[in-house]
Amino acid sequence: MEASFAAIQTYISKREFETSVIQPLFTKQRESIANLSELLKKENQMKELLDQQTGSAKKLDLPFLWKYRRPLTIASIQDQIASSLIYSKQDCTHISAVAHHIDMLLLVGNLPKILEFLHLTSELLACQYSRRSARKTKFEDVIASHTCLKEGFAVFTDTWNKLPTKDHDLDKETTLNCFLVDRDRRKDIVPFTLVERLISVHNQIVQTRRNDKFLVCLKSKDELINLVASYRDDDKEPATYNWKDVDKQVVAKYLNNKPKINFSFDQLPIYDFAEDSDIPTKLRSIEYSQEMLGGELSLAFAKQLQGRIFATRDEQRIQNLTVFLNELRIVINYLSKASQIDEDIKLMDYAEKTLGRPCCSSLIPEIKLKHVKHVWLLVKYEQTHQMRLCGHDVFDDVSMDCKEMVPRKLTGKLHDEVNLNSLKTKNLLMLLFEFIVLCLNKEIVRDQQDNSYLQKSLQASLHTYIKDTYGGKAPAEDLPTIPEEIQVKHAARAWRFIWSRYTGNSDS
């Protein structure tokens, strides 16, 4: 019995040992072997993938994520398109153009903010700076007093500085004149160059028959790279792509509904420099469209002007002429901003349309827009004449540098050249007056780089002006001679002296 009991206990102990120790050990061993086999299997898969000996692995296998791929770049896109044996140049027209111009296209999207900045700058600073002062003022000083320009300035300068080719960079130290559109400098100005280049690259790749709402632009190079990557044919290296489908997608995503932009200099916001805010300068800007009134027409206008003047008292005459000049000023301001002028439109019709009301001063129908400069000069001369008759000072808009007294010994010489009610003296008065108000006004004189012209002979300067303006239509040889010693700086006082001799009134 004892032997049997001992045998049973031994059996139970062995079973417990097997259950608690042996079986778990072998179970863990089998699991370890299975895990090792799986790892070995995956190692083989990874090796096969890296060695490119087999087809593609399952997408979720970890080693697949470790596979080396050549990085896709804009340069590699261009190389693959150029070397493709499957797709022709026609299949890849648009993707090639976008890839080629990618650096510029990344900037095209800034165009609206750039134009907004130019408009805002032009409006906020209008007439505050002359060309001379704009060349001396740093833009950081402008921002200090106009913080609303800061964001637009940053976009403008950043875009300019990223252009592939340019003469110089822009920063806060750059002077104000670099950001202003000057109607007298149509070439090599920064705003025109920047806008023209952005529009040019846009127009090179857009399609026709589009609406006019959007620009061709990308946010980053990765945007185009990711689009190309999504059309990879398989997982093999070197990679191949369906360039024909990529090209179609480029058209659909970037080029459809994009317009070709027609752009010209006159579409930019022209800055009104301080010296351009006066009428003489604006008249010079429309000189190309102007001509003199014919002899009969000039006489008819003179009679109309005289009839209106002599029907009123002295001070009322001056006031009427001033109102007339103000209406002409508004017309000239509008004309100076126009890209084209229809010269044969009736001046009266254009004035009433511009003013939005009937003009206070009527004009004979034969006077056209092409006569506005001559009309203004005749009215301005008559106003000045009436002011001198009333003893008022004249030439308020003329630079003080040109109002020096004529030395007494020179007035004696001038006295012998001009005469009372002489036709030649009247012609000299008219032409000298025109030269003074158009060429010697404050802003133009202030902007001169060289002041030595003030010491030039008034006679020679006047003859040069007449020749440049009228050619042979107003021969200077028929005019009384101004003594050579009288200089440009004496111009205003010389005119007053000649006026007093012609009219017989004292120049007091």
pLDDT in tens, 46-81: 445 444 433 444 444 555 455 555 676 767 666 776
Judgement on whether residues 362 and 412 belong to the same structural domain of the protein: no
The residue among 126 and 148 whose pLDDT is bigger is 148
Judgement on whether residues 27 and 162 belong to the same structural domain of the protein: no
pLDDT in tens, 25-42: 666 667 776 776 676 555
Q: Does some domain include residue 84?
A: no
Check pLDDT > 70 for residue 253: no
Place of tokens 């990308």: 218
Q: Does some domain include residue 85?
A: no
Judgement on whether residues 248 and 103 belong to the same structural domain of the protein: yes
Q: Does some domain include residue 272?
A: no
The residue among 64 and 183 whose pLDDT is bigger is 183
pLDDT in tens, 190-213: 998 888 888 877 676 554 333 334
Judgement on whether residues 403 and 387 belong to the same structural domain of the protein: no
Q: How confident is the model at residue 482 (pLDDT cuts 50, 70, 90)?
A: very high
Question: Considering 234, 267, 300, which residue would you say is the last residue of a domain?
Answer: 267
Q: By residue range, what is the domain housing residue 287?
A: 278-392
The residue among 463 and 311 whose pLDDT is bigger is 463
Quote the pLDDT of residue 50: 45
Judgement on whether residues 337 and 363 belong to the same structural domain of the protein: yes
Q: Does some domain include residue 404?
A: yes
Judgement on whether residues 385 and 404 belong to the same structural domain of the protein: no
Judgement on whether residues 38 and 105 belong to the same structural domain of the protein: no
Determine phi and psi for 58, rounding to 5 degrees. -65, 140
- CB-based contacts of 163, cutoff 8 Å, min separation 6: 104, 107, 194, 197
Question: Considering 267, 290, 323, which residue would you say is the last residue of a domain?
Answer: 267
Judgement on whether residues 205 and 353 belong to the same structural domain of the protein: no
Q: Does some domain include residue 328?
A: yes
Whole-number Cα distances in Å, 373 to 76, 123, 281, 436 = 63, 27, 11, 15
Contacts 24+ apart (CB under 8 A), 350-355: 351/327, 354/330, 355/327, 355/330
Judgement on whether residues 201 and 342 belong to the same structural domain of the protein: no
Question: Considering 363, 392, 421, which residue would you say is the last residue of a domain?
Answer: 392
Check pLDDT > 80 for residue 430: yes
Percent of the chain with pLDDT over 70: 67
Distance, in Å, from the CA atom of 172 to the CA atom of 194, rounded to the nearest integer, reads 18
Q: Does some domain include residue 74?
A: no
Q: How confident is the model at residue 149 (pLDDT cuts 50, 70, 90)?
A: very high
Total domains present in the chain: 4
Check pLDDT > 70 for residue 252: no
Quote the pLDDT of residue 124: 82
Please state, rounded to an integer, the average pLDDT across all residues of the chain: 78
Helix (H, G, I), strand (E, B) or coil at 398: strand
Quote the pLDDT of residue 15: 66
Judgement on whether residues 10 and 35 belong to the same structural domain of the protein: yes
Q: Does some domain include residue 209?
A: yes
Judgement on whether residues 446 and 351 belong to the same structural domain of the protein: no
* Beta partners for residue 398, in sequence order: 441
Judgement on whether residues 251 and 117 belong to the same structural domain of the protein: yes
Q: Does some domain include residue 70?
A: no
